[in-house]
Structure 1
Amino acid sequence: MDRGGVETLLMNIYRKIDRDSIQFDFLTHPYSQDYSYEYESEILSMGGRIYKAPSFSHNPCGYRKYIKVFFQNHPEYSVVHAHNLDSASLVYMREAKKTGRYLIAHSHNTEDHGKIIKRIMLRGCHHIIRQYPDYFYACSLPAAKFAFGKRIAESSSCQIFHNGIDVDQYFVDNALHLEMRNRLFPDARGPVFGTVGRLLPQKNQSFLLDVFADILKRDSLSELAIVGKGELRPSLEAKAKDLGIERHVHFIGSVPNVPDYLKAFDVFLLPSLYEGLPLVSIEAQASGLPTVVSNGVPPMAKCSDLIRFVDLSEGTSGWADAALEAYQKGRDQRADRIEQVRAAGFDISEISKRLCEFYKNHEDMI
């Protein structure tokens, strides 16, 4: 339960549900059993429990044993909502069904990450696990077809589940934008471009650095803020230095106040190679932020007049053009798009209410 897209979606829902009626507990299998992940203290404060199984990839036998005993010892869990569809799902989904749980599988992506052999293995897992769930959710139709296949994706057993946000957190006007910008980037004298996401190959931050180097050639006062943590940080820092742009690039790390950064940015950039439906693209639009994304982001992410899709084939020059155009167009005109985002169906309050009704209806069927 670190601060990432899926985890943030789960926490957004968890904060909004009636916890006197429904409680979320979390079964995880982290690499480190002792490390306290970023959302854990909040989960515990809201009455949730966190179970940590051994890492499946590091200890598959220990993981199988743990999962078998877990479902035997915890009959109180009537609904299992599965957000992890990797090889571990071959174990926990089978045990969940053997012990009579109502099982929901939830797809959040349109590609698997990792090297080609790992991706081939994961595609095989997706085919096998389709036999277990009673119901299927996905953040977009491409994500549903990717994980579950066309037949299931277009069936009555599958539903598109919007990645909702707490829209009221994203109120902003031009005065608040300037206040947050001055607070978070007090030395900035030019446009502040920003991105939010784990530092992983999928998010394509290496390409973003090349884009920003091109931006700096045209506007030498520009700044780039990269919010998030991940395995690529050392190589990205080294690349920024090699490009000679390190004084203008800020690696912020993982932060609890992402809305503040979105309010402070002048333009949001997301050149992902692939996405299911990136929550942060919805958050950026809600906060009135001119948003430039790749065609790896599905069209349903468009929920306001602020977003522009730019193909990665347009290269660094095309992306630099789009970023600077977005800055000039939105300059001194900051206003949130909360009502547009709400009308598009991304209000977490409504989404959480519908999900809890679904849980209750299907709990009665067990």
Structure 2
Amino acid sequence: MIRVLHIIQQLGPGRGGVRTFVSTMLDCPAPDIEQSVLSVGRVEGDRFGERFFGPLIDSYSPLLVGTLGAKRLGAFLSKHRFDIVQIHTNNALGFVFASEAKKAGVPSRIVHCHNSALGSTSRLKNMVNVAMIERFLPSASERWACSEVAGEYLFQGAGYALVHNGVDSDKFRFSSSDRAAVRHRLGIPCYATVIGFVGAGIPAKNTLRALDIFNQLRSSEADSRLLLFGQAEELPLAKEKADKLGLGESAVFIGTVDDIWRYYSAMDALLAPSFHEGLPIAFIEAQANGLPILSSDAVTQEADLTGLLKRAALSLSDKEWADLLVTCAGKRELTAETDYVPFLDKAGYTTRSLYEQLSDRYRNMTKGA
């Protein structure tokens, strides 16, 4: 039996890319691979059931997670045998954890990058991050990234393997019955334009700008709605801004849901004016649904698997963004009639492809062990 431990730095209450990826991998049907999860820092929300360990410290602080948390991680790995640790990260702490795993005798140590930036505007923090990467980089026996831009950011020119995020493409296909049911439940007319936003309150997602763009859209589409999913740290600011803009019931804060594929069918376009991204799982899900996407050009072009993604500069005005959004939403009737799942299958972004790829990688790592 191959024992794999997914290590995460911390988990907030939302449905983020790391949580989604790890949850997907825990459902991998390979009978010879046993997978579990450990969080070094604080966890809110779903804890992955019986296969969850931690948190090792009750804190979100990167300093505490990277010092006391890393020390406790080393002690944990010395007591429990794992063939492989897969460390999910977007910063140098992933390599610090790999160093502890190496000292504890774990033979295979994967550092898996899920984003394209540290997420901090602090020059000092970015300098420290780069210095720590240079120091601890050799501790990783494998380097994986969700996209080229993510790999180039974290691995500083060192080699890496691309591991595509995978979605259950059949589940995310467009459904006219889900579209009608969700709109009925939310009190949204069938003729209204519905815009989706995933990651509400996450600083990198630029929620406040999304509200400004939607407010501009309402000047020409009075019956439009904005559905916001997630509940991260800036959510109170987002709700306050929605009130100041007078959005009222047109901005619907959904929170975290377990059936987001139903909501995709109810939408006409997905809005993502992000400051930075890796390759968002939400974009893959949306494209499986045939949902047009308008994103910032901070999102890698790699994310366009189907021709449904339109990228725009953040320097454009809110009105220019709103006009582009109207154009995207206007394509929904046509895209809803098209099956985009074959595009994802061909590009390797389905759960089937992910399970096959990672199972083979895990087995190859442990050959001869």
TM alignment of 1:128-143, pairs within 5 A: 128-143=135-150
Could you tell me whether the CA contact under 8 Å between 2:147 and 2:278 is conserved in 1?
Answer: yes
Distance 2:178 2:231 in 1: 27
Matched, 1:26 2:37: yes
Hey, what does 2:8 align to over in structure 1? none
**Alignment partner, residue 70 of structure 1:** 76
Q: For residue 266 of structure 1, what is the amino acid of its counterpart?
A: D
Name stretches of at least 5 consecutive residues in structure 2 with no aligned partner.
1-10
Alpha-carbon distance change, 212 to 357 in structure 1, aligned in 2, over 3 angstroms: same
Cα pair distance change 1:50/1:187, threshold 3 Å: farther
User: Could you tell me how far 1:236 is from its partner in structure 2?
Assistant: 0.8
Contact 2:99 2:139 in 1 (8 A): yes
Alpha-carbon contact 1:43-1:49 (below 8 Å) kept = yes
Please tell me the residue identity of whatever aligns with 1:23: E
Secondary structure, in 3 states, of the residue corresponding to 1:206?
helix
Structure 2 matches for 1:21-170, cutoff 5 A?
A: 21-31=32-42, 37-40=44-47, 42-44=48-50, 48-54=51-57, 55=59, 57-58=63-64, 62-74=68-80, 76-86=81-91, 88-89=93-94, 91-101=96-106, 102-116=108-122, 117-150=124-157, 152-153=158-159, 158-170=160-172
Is the contact between residue 195 and residue 226 of structure 1 (CA under 8 Å) also seen in structure 2?
A: yes
> How big is the shift at 1:352?
1.3
Q: Structure 2 CA distance, aligned partners of 1:31 and 1:184?
A: 33
Instruction: Show structure 1 runs of 4+ deviating over 6 A.
Output: none
Query: 1:202 & 1:64 partners in 2: Cα distance?
Result: 26
Please give the secondary structure, in 1, of the residue aligned with 2:183.
Answer: helix
Aligned with 2:269 (options 261, 267, 270): 267
Change (3 A) 1:184 1:22: farther
Report if the CA contact (8 A) 1:226-1:252 is conserved: yes
**For 2:92 and 2:181, how far apart are their aligned partners in 1?**
46
Deviations along 1:120-168, whole A, 9 cap, x unmatched?
3222222222111111111111111110112x13xxxx21111111111
**Distance in 1 between residues matched to 2:319 and 2:361, nearest whole Å:** 47
The amino acid that maps onto 2:89 is N
* Structure 2 residue matching 1:83: 3-state secondary structure: strand
Check conservation: 1:165, 1:346, Cα contact below 8 A: yes
Deviation at 1:115, TM superposition (A): 4.0
Matched, 1:361 2:364: yes
Q: Distance in 2 between matches of 1:327 and 1:291?
A: 9
Query: 1:10 maps to which residue?
Result: 22
For 1:226, what is the secondary structure of its paired residue?
strand
Shift of 1:358: 1.0
State the alpha-carbon separation in 2 of the partners of residues 243 and 184 from structure 1: 21
Which amino acid in 1 is paired with 2:32?
Answer: S
Q: RMSD value over aligned CA atoms? A: 2.1
Taking structure 1 as reference, are residues 184 and 124 closer, same or farther at Cα in structure 2, changes over 3 Å only? farther
Q: Which amino acid aligns with 2:113?
A: S
Question: Is the contact between residue 199 and residue 228 of structure 1 (CA under 8 Å) also seen in structure 2?
Answer: yes
Q: 1:126 to 1:320 in 2, by over 3 A?
A: same
**Paired positions, count:** 351
User: What is aligned with 2:351?
Assistant: 348
Alignment deviations for residues 2-23 of structure 1 (CA, whole Å, 9 cap, x no partner): 52111101211221332x3111
Range 184-193 or range 159-168, more displaced = 184-193
Paired residue for 2:246? Answer: 244
> Percentage identity across aligned positions?
27
Letter in 2 for 1:4: G
Give the Cα separation in 2 of the matches to 1:206 and 1:61. 34
In structure 1, stretches of 5+ residues that fail to align are none
Q: Offset at 1:176?
A: 4.2
Q: Would the alpha carbon gap of residues 256 and 176 (structure 1) be closer, same or farther in structure 2, given more than 3 Å must change?
A: closer
| Displacement after TM superposition at 1:188 (Å) | 6.8
Give, in whole Å, the separation in 2 of the partners of 1:321 and 1:339.
30
The one-letter code sitting in structure 1 at the alignment partner of 2:240 is A
Question: Deviations for 1:203-243, whole angstroms, at most 9, x for unmatched residues?
Answer: 01111111011101111111111111111111111111112
Matches of 2:111 and 2:334, distance apart in 1: 44
Equivalent residue, structure 2, for 1:203: 205
Q: Structure 1 CA distance, aligned partners of 2:93 and 2:153? A: 18
Secondary structure of residue in 2 paired with 1:331: helix
Deviation of 1:334 after TM superposition, in Å, equals 1.5
